[in-house]
Amino acid sequence: MKSRGFAILAIVFSLALVGASCGSDDLGDGIEGLPGNLADCAEISIRWGSLTTDALLDGSNENVEEDADKLKSLLPDEYDEHVDAIADAVSNAEGEGLTGIGEAMSTDEVEAANTAIADYLEETCASLGN
C-alpha cells in the first residue's frame, strides 16, 4: 500500500513540475484531446501536485488558495475537506523550509487526505481511455 502511494505521489509531483514549468493556468490546451477520462485525471493530478508543491517551488503559499479552489472544482464535493487539509498544511509550512514542509505533509490528517485523493484517482482513472 505504501509503495503504491509513493508511486502515485511521484507521478503527481512530476505532473505538477511539468505544469508549473509551462507557466500557464490554462491546462486545457495540452490535455483536452486525451481519450476517455484521461484529461480529467491528468488535470486533477496536476492541480493536486501543484497544491502540494506550492511552498516547495516558490517558497511561499501565495497560490495555495487558488490551487485548492481549482482542485475542489475538479473533485466531488466530499473531497473538499481533504483538499482543505492539504492546503492548510502547505499554508502553515510557509517559511519552514523543506523539513517543515515534510513535517506538515506527514501528519495523519494530510496523509489521509492524500490517500483519499489517490484512491479516487485510482478508482476513476483505472480504466483510462474507456
Per-residue pLDDT of the chain in tens (130 residues, 90 and over written 9):
444 554 555 555 555 554 444 444 554 455 555 555 777 888 898 888 888 776 666 555 678 888 899 999 999 999 999 999 999 998 887 777 777 778 888 899 999 999 999 999 888 886 544 4
Distance CA 25, CA 48 (A): 13
Question: Are 38 and 125 within 8 A, CB to CB?
Answer: yes
CB-CB contact of 130 with 36 (8 Å): yes
Name residue, grid cell 476517455.
36
Output the DSSP codes for 28-83.
HHHHTT-STTHHHHHHHHHHHHHHHHHHHHHSS-TTHHHHHHHHHHHS-GGGHHHH
Angle formed at CA 30 by CA 24 and CA 33, multiple of 5 degrees: 150
Q: What is the pTM of this model?
A: 0.70
Cell of 71: 482542485
